[in-house]
Chain A
């Protein structure tokens, strides 16, 4: 089968799954609503509770789940390819911990951009993720002409630990309510309750996905090792830079919308590789689509299993993801 046909089949297959999940998810929830009433235009929107539940509560969080899931899963693929390490996740290089530090500072010091009516937390989270990327990037560049993946990994892991310590430091002096809110933020949450956070993340997500499309071939070559990739005409440093920056941008955008939701960025890439093989031209689009479907489905579970109480979606992804990943690990041997 030619690559083109396999690409079409992969995208069609995973695309159908993602589309079905996204279409179905807003119809499911702890409250029973009438869909015909939700779409009844003759009732003013402000009076139509069903429509409000559908369009304000469920649709934004479904779309947020799809975007965040796609970003984490694709970023996971890119980080694993870049670092040539199966255990790499979007959180390995400190991006999400940087974002978390930003969020914690915004929560503890009550930052807000009040004049614009914007909560300071997502802004600070995104700024934190950019700062972390900048520091790790500068470190990995400093003593090498190219980008050392070893230094990248060590710098990332170190920055993770450093930022975590800073978070604990800030937490120690914060009030109980703020500690609680921070903890809640760290569990991940897709209840965005408006479209603005999603729209705000779209430019960064668009740029990242644009790079990912270009990165598929370079990542295939990189998997042979930098030397072989270089000999086949790849500008390795350029590819590594593009991979690191775009995957970091994707992670930053995703964390800004939904918080650090774990496991999506590691299970989905591995699962997809199991299904479609190692070619990044198939793995990347498949992971993005499957990641979207997976996180949306997890969010539906989070909403309904203990209804009316809702679980943080990060707990669901980890509870499903952990054992599943172990099973995968044992099966693969």
Chain B
């Protein structure tokens, strides 16, 4: 290979490398595309909302995202539309390898996001803020959230911790296909912060497919069914949906009428509204303290 070519490759490699590595806190992102609803909420919450140019097809909050172009989501990101918007930062989900490869090739900076625990929400806000050039505002937001969560922790500290089952999915009108929070992940962390003891704390999975036997054996004192507001039970079927739990009469939560439906995006989206989400769970677990 000729020397000039080698030099060219070296220059090119350095360029690609420096782009891929990014310079945290240096380049202020002016045109941001977010493919993750939780990250969209974060961007708006620390004041980068006016620079968001497109969001995922699942984004509904804050209302300001409604008129923005929708460029696909986790499984179907529309690369062409994303690139056409000439973004300088794209928030992608960690598993979107193809998209990441294409963005690298197009020399577009991206922010790699993954759902994890409650503490990761605030750490993500800080790193995302550093990437968009909103470091101080993001830090302030993260601190506020952490203070809010600490406050909830303090208020439940002296309280008994009822054994709680947190269900986030099941078949309509039947106790089949029940998905519950295991001992890791933000739902588990929110539940523990809100003063409940997760009945599946020993199962180190984010999602546990709970059988009726497991629920009968776990004997939860409280059952919380958390869902996104768009998959809430129709109000006319609320009683019927509560009735399906009646079969498990030996479960204290069922016997004592402590099955709670929380149709609340603040719980199921691990974004900046987690304090409110945690409070909603806390109200169900400790109604006398959180009025």
Contacts and interface: CB of A to CB of B under 8 A. Distances in A.
A79 B173 CA distance: 34
Contacts of A185: 177
A230 interface: no
Contacts of B209: 184, 309-310
A112 B174 CA distance: 10
Interface in B216-253: 216-217, 219, 228, 230-231, 234, 236-237, 240, 243-244, 247-250
Contacts, number: 110
Nearest to A311: B209
Interface of A: 29-31, 45-49, 51-53, 56-58, 107, 110-115, 117-121, 172, 175-177, 180-181, 184-185, 189, 191-194, 303, 308-310
Contacts of A48: 250
A57 B240 contact: no
Contact of B213 (A30, A120, A180): A30
B176 A52 contact: no
5 smallest beta-carbon distances between A and B, as pairs: A57-B213, A31-B217, A46-B249, A114-B237, A193-B212
B169 A53 contact: no
B205 to A, nearest CB: 7
Given A51-B250, A114-B234, A303-B211, 8 more contacts: A30-B217, A52-B216, A56-B212, A117-B173, A117-B240, A119-B171, A189-B176, A308-B200
Contacts of A191: 176, 211-213
B58 interface: yes
B152 interface: no
16 contacts: A46-B250, A47-B250, A51-B250, A52-B250, A56-B247, A112-B173, A117-B244, A119-B174, A120-B173, A175-B230, A176-B74, A184-B209, A185-B177, A193-B212, A308-B203, A309-B205
B173 A118 contact: yes
Contacts of A117: 173, 240, 243-244
What class of interface size applies to chain B in its complex with A? 35 or more
Interface string B49-62: 00000000010000
A309 B248 CA distance: 20
Nearest to A45: B249
B172 A120 contact: yes
Interface of B: 58, 74, 76, 169, 171-177, 179, 200, 202-203, 205, 208-209, 211-214, 216-217, 219, 228, 230-231, 234, 236-237, 240, 243-244, 247-250, 255
Contacts of B244: 117
B176 A193 contact: yes
Nearest to A196: B174
Nearest to A178: B231
B178 to A, nearest CB: 8
A194 B247 CA distance: 8
A119 B248 contact: no
Contacts of B243: 117
B7 to A, nearest CB: 48
Contact of B176 (A29, A172, A192, A309): A192
B212 to A, nearest CB: 4
Given A114-B237, A117-B240, A177 B174 contact: no
Given A49-B217, A112-B237, A180 B173 contact: no
A138 B189 CA distance: 56
Contacts of A51: 250
Nearest to A57: B213
A111 B249 CA distance: 27
